[in-house]
């Protein structure tokens, strides 16, 4: 009974803390401006199934795609077994689903195979990050914490799968010994190979099995509550992120109603405008961005695929699309923390533009959309960059000299070149 009460308290606390942190993240996302992404629900659902569930955009890199698919499927399948652990912990039973008979044996056998596959894949990923040290895992934004975060998750997964296999191995051996409370149930195609190295005595096996059981479930609770502080929260956000992603051409910018109204007034003297609330042009801080942009930031996996194909980054310029997303996430997290601590009227004197993302970065972008195309879960760094640019130009009249020259030429000559309209075809005249 003491064990059951302790288990209940741990479970209740872990789920409660995760729910609280997840609500804060959702609250932070909702601080963004309105954006309507509810059109074409069937198309959006198919996009989510293909990109998030099917991981279709991962296939461009076959080896990591296969390894990630194994971890993804293993995460889903192995954690079905967590349901049995929860019920056993709450009711004081052991292998509560064993009456399923042969079906239970098949399930446990599948869990073991996938657990080993996840263990191997995570080890391979860890080797790629720490020994092979691929270029796209490096960068100015990849400081000690982002690199440690990825490694820590992989190590946690390896330890959890190791505990699961050891627990099953000790359980299977106790079943062979006919130990009380350990019913004959399950198939153990992987853990049975551990029999020669497992303890011989029943007491030692029980201690090992119970220790691994507690380590596995508490480790899962720790993992769950670590996610809101980690890039691996994409486990949850990848699905809504792909569902609400842009369906049209990725590089298009939405027209601002205030500007559209002004143009209509100039073009049609009989046009009668409705109420106009121009607000702010573009974005200076995260609260000026849409909730889609903020969800994108929380969903970013920091894989670096966007930065690895960015032409500006490849040619040595400062821009890194991954850094844009990481900076946006850090800033909205800071804004949310200030909201909790100081209330809605607090101003910390910071902004996304300048304090987190420099002017050099936003003007280095060629707006080619390569980063959006490459992202495996349809994150859109370009839209954030364009909103920051829009603010710089339309609110501050601040733009690079080359751009100001082009805009002046368009205003005066109706073309981006310095030549007057009357001289535009001089090149075609004969000497």
Q: What is the pLDDT tens value at each position of the chain, 431 positions in all?
A: 788 999 999 999 999 999 999 999 999 999 999 999 999 999 999 999 999 999 999 988 899 999 999 998 887 887 788 889 999 999 988 989 889 889 999 999 999 999 999 999 999 999 999 998 888 888 889 988 898 999 999 999 999 999 999 999 999 999 999 988 888 888 999 999 999 999 999 999 999 999 999 999 999 999 999 999 999 999 999 999 999 999 988 878 778 777 888 788 888 878 877 776 667 889 999 999 999 999 999 999 999 999 999 999 999 999 999 999 999 999 999 999 999 999 988 999 999 999 999 999 999 999 999 999 999 999 999 999 999 999 999 899 888 888 888 888 888 888 888 888 788 787 787 76
- pLDDT reported for residue 360: 95
Give CA separation, 277 vs 292, 307, 322, 345, 386, in Å: 22, 37, 33, 22, 21
- pLDDT reported for residue 300: 96
How close are the terminal C-alpha atoms of the chain, in Å? 102
Tell me the two tokens of residue 111: 């869990």
- pLDDT reported for residue 278: 61
Other CB atoms within 10 A of residue 5 CB: 9
| Widest pairwise Cα distance in the chain | 106
Assigned fold of 257-413: Fumarate Reductase Iron-sulfur Protein; Chain B, domain 2 (1.10.1060)
- pLDDT reported for residue 276: 66
Contact 308, 53 (CB under 8 A): no
- Phi/psi of residue 50, each to 5°? -75, -45
User: What's the distance, CA 166 to chain centroid?
Assistant: 31
Helical segments of 36-101, H only: 41-48, 62-78, 80-91
The DSSP string of 189-257 is TTGGGGGGGS-SSHHHHHHHHHHHHHHHHHHHHHHHHHGGGSGGGHHHHHHHHHHTS--S-TT--PPPH
Q: What CA–CA distance (Å, rounded) separates 322 from 352?
A: 15
Contact 17, 227 (CB under 8 A): no
Angle 187-191-196 (CA atoms, 0-180°, nearest 5)?
Answer: 125
Dihedral of CA atoms 365, 370, 373, 375 in degrees, nearest 10, equals -70
């Amino acid at each position: 009974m003491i064990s059951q009460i302790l288990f209940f308290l741990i479970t209740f606390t872990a789920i409660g803390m995760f729910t609280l942190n997840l609500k804060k993240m959702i609250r932070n996302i909702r601080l963004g401006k309105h954006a309507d992404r509810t059109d074409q629900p069937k198309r959006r659902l198919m996009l989510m199934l293909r990109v998030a569930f099917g991981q279709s955009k991962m296939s461009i890199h076959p080896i990591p795609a296969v390894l990630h698919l194994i971890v993804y499927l293993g995460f889903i399948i192995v954690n079905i077994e967590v349901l049995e652990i929860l019920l056993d912990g709450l009711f004081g039973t052991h292998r509560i689903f064993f009456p399923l008979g042969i079906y239970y044996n098949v399930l446990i056998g599948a869990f073991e195979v996938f657990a080993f596959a996840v263990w191997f894949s995570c080890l391979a990923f860890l080797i790629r990050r720490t020994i092979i040290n691929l270029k796209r895992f490096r960068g100015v934004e990849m400081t000690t914490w982002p690199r440690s975060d990825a490694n820590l998750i992989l190590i946690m997964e390896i330890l959890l799968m190791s505990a699961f296999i050891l627990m099953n191995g000790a359980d299977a051996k106790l079943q062979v010994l006919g130990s009380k409370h350990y019913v004959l149930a399950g198939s153990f195609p992987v853990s049975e190979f551990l029999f020669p190295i497992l303890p011989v005595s029943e007491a030692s096996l029980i201690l090992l099995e119970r220790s691994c059981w507690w380590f596995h479930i508490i480790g899962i609770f720790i993992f769950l509550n670590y996610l809101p502080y980690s890039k691996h929260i994409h486990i949850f956000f990848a699905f809504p992120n792909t569902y609400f992603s842009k369906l049209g051409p990725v590089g298009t910018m939405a027209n601002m109603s205030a500007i559209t109204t002004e143009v209509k007034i100039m073009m049609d003297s009989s046009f009668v405008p409705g109420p106009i609330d121009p607000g702010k042009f573009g974005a200076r801080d995260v609260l000026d961005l849409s909730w889609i942009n903020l969800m994108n930031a929380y969903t970013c996996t920091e894989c670096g695929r966007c930065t690895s194909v960015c032409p500006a980054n490849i040619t040595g310029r400062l821009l890194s699309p991954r850094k844009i997303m990481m900076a946006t996430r850090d800033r909205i997290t800071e804004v949310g923390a200030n909201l909790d601590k100081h209330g809605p009227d607090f101003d910390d004197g910071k902004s996304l533009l300048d304090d987190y993302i420099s002017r050099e970065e936003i003007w280095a972008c060629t707006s080619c959309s390569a980063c959006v195309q490459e992202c495996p879960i349809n994150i859109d760094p370009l839209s954030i960059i364009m909103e920051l640019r829009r603010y710089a130009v339309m609110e501050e009249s601040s733009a690079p000299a080359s751009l100001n020259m082009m805009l002046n030429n368009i205003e005066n000559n109706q073309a981006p070149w310095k030549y007057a309209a009357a001289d535009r075809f001089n090149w075609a005249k004969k000497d």
